[in-house]
Amino acid sequence: MSVLAVADLHKSFGGVRAVSGVSFAVAPGEMLALIGPNGAGKSTCFNMLNGQLRPDGGRIALDGQDITGLAPRRVWRRGVGRTFQITATFASMTVRENVQVALLSHHRRIWRFWQPTSALFAAEADALLDQVGMEAQADRAAGVLAYGDLKRLELAVALANAPRLLLMDEPTAGMAPAERVALMQLTRDLTRRQHIAVLFTEHDMDVVFGVADRILVLNRGELIAEGDAAAIRADARVRAVYLGSGATSGGH
Amino acid sequence: MLTVEDLHSFYGRAHILHGVSFALAAGEVLVLLGRNGAGKSTTMKSLIGLVRPASGRIAFDGQDIAGWEPHRVARAGLGYVPEERRIFSELTVLENLEVGRRKPRDGRPAWTPERLFALFPNLAALRGRQGGRMSGGEQQMLTIARTLMGNPGLILLDEPSEGLAPVIVEQMADAILALKQQGVTVLLAEQNLHFAARVADRAAVIETGRIVWTGTMADLHGDEALRAAHLAV
Amino acid sequence: MDFVLVQLLTGLAAASSLFLVASGLTVIFGVTRVVNFSHGSLYMLGAYIGWSLLTRLPREPEWFALGVVATALATGGIGVLLETTLLRRIYRAPELLQLLATFGVVLMVQDIVLKLWGPADLSLPRPRWLRSFVVIAGERVPFFDLVLIGIGPLVLLALWLLFTRTRWGTLVRAATQDRDMVAALGVDQRLLFTSVFALGAALAGMGGALALPDGSANLQMDLTVITDAFVVVVVGGLGSVAGAYLASLLIALLQAFGIVLLPKITLVLVFAVMAVVLVLRPNGLLGRPPAEARGEAHVLALIRPASRALRLLGAAALVAALLAPLLAGPFLLSVLTEMLVAVLFAASLHFMMGPGGMASFGHAAWFGLGAYGAAFAAKFLLLPMPAGLVAAPLAAGAAAALFGWFVVRLSGVYLAMLTLAFAQIVWAAMFQSVEITGGDNGILGVWPAAWAADPRVFYWLTLALCVAGTLLLRRMLYAPFGYALRAARDSALRAEAVGLDTTRIRLAAFTLAGTAAGLAGGLSAYSNGSVFPTYISIGRSVDALVMVLLGGVQTIAGPVVGALAYTGLFDALLLVTDLWRLVLGAAIVVLVLAFPQGIAGTVQRLWLRGREA
């Protein structure tokens, strides 16, 4: 059974259709890429999936249960991790503390007023940081991390609630080419092992064609193509609205 | 046209640039390549004056502009197109262009909105549109057009291809080549090698705040070891 | 019908007066992002300068107009001075420190005006044309009212043309969004900011001069008008000139009719309107959600366990405080008791403001409700002091939970202004319920129990409760709740994305802060033996704010240091000079310029730097 099933999703802003009639599904352990021109509705789609936006119509089901219109924190409780296009971390805390907060929330230990936080779930936090190769930086302030490290911290935080599904909005934006592929390969290894489904948006075609199992193409709010890398590369419509000749993106 | 010598810059208390030196001839497109955090953006910001260099020399058209305030640097003919676009989202396209307008300093014909619309045809239909209601690609074109309104002799482009659809990146490359034909000198910071290869004449590779290699794009292309060592490609 | 017309015209005239001050404030805020507390001082200066000019000029209308324009130019010039000497240096400082610096200016201007013009209210002789009436629909309408009614829309139109039809206006609107980018495009943004500030100051000065015919120049007008202007700006939406006009109309008209229909409501009407508008529209009538501040993200300090040296210092201070009554006389002891109360009061504000990211302009509400809670328990329920000291935090905490439900949904200046609105509503309730609270005369005879009647015993009791309260708040910040609170402040987006209910967390923090402030208020009531509405005054809220900011928002020791420094400085100044406002104001300005991270924050930074080197 699929982890995420989206059926006939719709959203308009002031009469302008941002997303219309989008349907797809993601299987456990699958990496699904959502690509399309700037303004095609990718972010809108994402924000509806994690609850930041309420869809005008359609249904979103996680493991068969309807999560349409739930608030982001309730979506998270159902097992959906999220990383943001512009990294969002807690800048006044250390790397470890960032993960600890997510773990405290996952274990419903937030409403404690007496016990010092420092010892709570520290080992679990370090284990998660270890998975993403950040254990050496656990005591550094998140506010001073290099961009690529912030992305890996976000990944560790997103994995803290043992999610069923990971949503990653432009996970490699602003990274160097090799770092990009490395981060997504790391993500793929981690999620494969734990059967976590991943849905991500991306503009780097090396990453998309390199790691995605399947690719969806969105244009003007509608899905125009779906398939593996070879099928998408060969699709004339996708080339026209998005891929271009390939001269500046790797000549696919 | 531009000579940078032993530039040192700090960002807050972090020492980012450890003596950057390179030179750029008139009419040339030089690409600054390097990983994240290598110092590309800080170099750009130090040149325009948004980051005040701690030491070093920046000779531009015969003047040492190191330590000048941004508006003086811009008036001297240096144009800056930041990363992340930074358009004025509540202003219309025409108003955005108006903010950038400055009289040309040399005899060359001034850029006008109409000339820019010819260069970026996508913008022509949007002249009354608020900046915030444009797509990422349109915004990126607007930032470049806005800077050109100041009639700069040299334009700094900080990662113009970032976050854009491949087909838009191609249009961006065409626009930069067109600019070059019209005699505009370009300093480009990039991570997208395919894009850099299409538009640049020469490359300077920056790593931990120092230029570690300079050469032609052809040399770079042939030197796989170099790319692996410094660009991790 | 006649009544409606007369009140309508009165309201419209009042709206114009409000708009003149508020438009300047909103323009300055829109561009510089500085919450300029000294805008009321510019208005007051306008009134005094206007008085000096107009009493020397011939009495004809054209000379009056000339005098008003000259006043506007003069205050514009003062604005230039203020901007170039002070504000320019603090544009990159945190928003609240800018507020603190401009508050220092308010204090300084008060003493300067007092020295130059003396304490008496100054009013303008009213020549015939100023006293004349125009008959409209059978009603005599003051001619000057009609002039004012016309000026508001004219200024609105002029500002609109200026901002949308000139290159200067386009540049200003661009700079509002991204000043660095404007500079990088070759625009001298300093000149731009100075000119904007001068424009705002000129509008304030013009407002002050135009207030003369129907009032007077007096020393209270700065704070009265800044409060009203803030309300208008916030109701209209920060930075929106048209919004400011709408809000002026709304408030002035409600005021004009309210004063006749429901006289009692006028004290709170303005604040009630603001509360309703903010609850319905969190960004004001025409305001936009605040854009993410560009390139000015302040790196927030980590909160680390106190160092050994700091613990030792704290322990030493505690021992000294314990031994103090053995040496101190009664006067010093009462000052020390007051300082302890101030420490808890400041720590409670810091709790929501620093880690919680919710600055309050109305923290005195909880302090005052605690004090009244204790007084009611003592006077009406005849409860003993310990019960009173339980009632105080409970009353304040319950009220904070109730008001907090609305407050925590907002952010930034809007949130701060809503707390101010609630504080003013509480103040008015206490002030006007004369039968219960004695109104302005307060409640007297709230004395400590016999066992604590000795000032030394009461001091030790205060010491125990205030230190315990402060340490408890501190403990919570190191506990999971404190981390969740900081998580909600650092990134609400991320906090919600890891399952945190940020609204509930902020509400809990708000309630806890109110509870602690209530305890401070209760202690203060028993310490002074009385409770007055001044416990809830804006001045007291500002005290708390100044203490926290002086100490430093980002360090946990900050509020303690700030409270001691501020009350100490204040009491010392009162003893040595009658120009205490000037000195205190100057001291605040200098402290902000010298220690942008607050005293404790700066010490911490130097300490850390010393360690790393």
Given this model, what pLDDT does residue A38 score?
82
**pLDDT tens digits, one per residue of C457-468:** 999 999 999 999
Nearest residue, CB atoms, A105 vs list C491, C493, C499:
C499
- Asked if residue A185 and residue A62 are part of one domain, the reply reads yes
Task: For chain C, give the mean pLDDT.
Answer: 89
Name the token pair of C568: 């100490």
Mean pLDDT of C322-328: 90
Longest dimension (CA), chain A: 62
Residues A50 and A103 in one domain: no
Q: Which residue of B has its CA nearest to C177?
A: B88
Which residues form the domain of A4? 1-79+165-252
Residues A104 and A5 in one domain: no
pLDDT higher than threshold 70 for residue C299: no
Question: Looking at residue C290, what is its pLDDT?
Answer: 64
Continuous segment of H or E residues that includes residue C367: helix C364-379
Nearest-by-CA chain B residue for A239:
B167
Q: In this structure, are A206 and A111 located in the same domain?
A: no
The pLDDT of residue B232 is 65
Q: Is B137 on the interface with A (CB under 8 A)?
A: yes
C170 in contact with chain B, both atoms CB, cutoff 8 A: yes
CA pair distance C30, A195, nearest whole angstrom: 50
If DSSP codes are grouped into helix, strand and coil, which group holds residue C99? helix
pLDDT range class, residue A250, cuts 50, 70, 90 = low
Tens of pLDDT along C552-562? 877 878 888 88
| pLDDT digits 0-9 by tens, C83-121 | 999 998 888 777 778 888 898 999 999 999 999 999 999
Rounded (10°) angle between helices C538-551 and C598-612: 10
Residue range A198-211: average pLDDT?
91
Query: What pLDDT score was predicted for residue C186?
Result: 95
- Residue C612's pLDDT is what? 44
- A121, A142, A162 - which closes a domain: A162
* Of the residues A98, A132, A162, the one at which a domain ends: A162
Beta strands in chain B (DSSP E): 2-11, 14-24, 29-33, 55-60, 63-64, 78-81, 154-158, 185-190, 202-207, 210-216
Residues forming beta bridges with residue A34, ordered by sequence position: A201, A216
Mean pLDDT, range C584-594, rounded to an integer = 86
pLDDT at C291 (0 to 100) = 55
Pair (A195, A147) in one structural domain: no
User: How far apart are the C-alpha atoms of C400 and C408, rounded to whole Å?
Assistant: 11
| Dihedral angle of Cα B179, B180, B181, B182, to the nearest 10 degrees | 50
User: Which uninterrupted H or E stretch holds A26?
Assistant: strand A16-26
Across the interface, whether the CB atoms of A248 and B191 are under 8 A apart is answered no
CB–CB of A242 and B165 under 8 A? yes
H runs (alpha helix) in C491-553: 492-497, 502-528, 538-551
Model confidence pLDDT, tens digit, residues A176-188: 777 888 889 999 9
Indicate whether A4 and A34 sit together in one domain: yes
Instruction: Tell me which residues of chain B have a pLDDT lower than 50.
Output: none
Domains along chain B with CATH numbers: 2-231 (3.40.50.300)
Question: Which residue type, as a one-letter code, is found at position B84?
Answer: E
Q: Do B88 and C177 touch (CB under 8 A)?
A: yes
**Do residues A183 and A252 both lie within one domain?**
yes
Residues in chain A within 8 Å Cβ distance of C497 = 50, 72-73, 76, 82, 84, 88
Quick: pLDDT tens for C355-388.
999 989 899 999 999 999 999 999 999 999 999 9
Query: H or E element: which one contains B232?
Result: none
- Residue C148 pLDDT greater than 90, yes or no: yes
Identify the CATH number of the domain in which residue A249 sits.
3.40.50.300
- The per-residue pLDDT for C30 is 85
Mind listing the pLDDT tens digit for each residue in C220-242?
Answer: 999 889 888 988 998 999 889 99
Q: Examine the domain organization and report whether A252 and A173 are in the same domain.
A: yes
pLDDT(C601) > 80: no
Predicted confidence (pLDDT) at residue C173 exceeds the cutoff of 70: yes
Instruction: Decide the pairing of beta strands A16-26 and B14-24.
Output: unpaired
Task: Give the confidence band of A75 by pLDDT, cuts at 50, 70, 90.
Answer: very high
Q: How far is the alpha carbon of A147 from chain B, nearest alpha carbon, in Å? A: 7
Q: What is the pLDDT of residue C333?
A: 92
Q: Which of C173, C181, C186 sits opposite B86 (nearest CB)?
A: C181
Which residue ranges make up each domain of chain C?
Answer: 2-219, 327-541
- Do A184 and A157 fall within a single domain? no
pLDDT band at A104 (very low <50, low <70, confident <90, very high): very high
| Residue positions counted in chain C | 613
Q: Is the pLDDT of residue C305 over 80?
A: no
Q: How confident is the model at residue C610 (pLDDT cuts 50, 70, 90)?
A: low
Among A131, A162, A193, the domain-final residue is A162
Judge whether residue C281 has pLDDT over 50: yes
- B170 close contact with A: CB closer than 8 A: yes
**Quick one: A65 and A105 in the same domain?**
no
Rounded mean pLDDT, A53-79 = 94
* A63 shares its domain with A177: yes
Considering only CB atoms, A247 lies closest to which of B34, B135, B198, namely B198
Q: Is B39 on the interface with A (CB under 8 A)?
A: no
Structural domain count of chain A = 2
Residue C608, pLDDT > 70, answer no
